Structure 1
Amino acid sequence: MTTATLTPVPRQSVGATAAGATAVSAEPRPSRPVGNALRAVKVFASAVVSVVILGEYSN
């Protein structure tokens, strides 16, 4: 068996930005319904191609 010691990372002071995935700006991003719809069609089409043409499916 192995054991590991996990040391907690100290928190940053109030007002400091947190490390990690944060937004670049505080402004909300504009909605792009046409782009989102095209992306959904692309994902669906690639799934259809992988199942029908390539024969990839899970049991």
Structure 2
Amino acid sequence: MLAEQGAAVDVREIARRSGVGMGTLYRHFPKKEDLVHTVLRRDFLKWAESARQAAIDAEDPWAA
């Protein structure tokens, strides 16, 4: 939802589409910023791992 609507997305919609209650959402992410931070960190780590693996797999170090 963050990718679709950006950080302005309503947390009630996030909870609804995730199939969890607002209490559950707030228990894990007390502030909306905590949720955004977690999502961005996960995506960045996935991107960094992909880049690391591409560098390992590259035959030409300069291209890596």
TM-score, length-normalised on structure 2?
A: 0.38
More helix by share: 2
Query: Which one has more relative contact order, counting CA pairs under 8 Å at least 6 apart?
Result: 2
TM-score, length-normalised on structure 1?
A: 0.41
> Which is higher, the Rg of structure 1 or of structure 2?
1
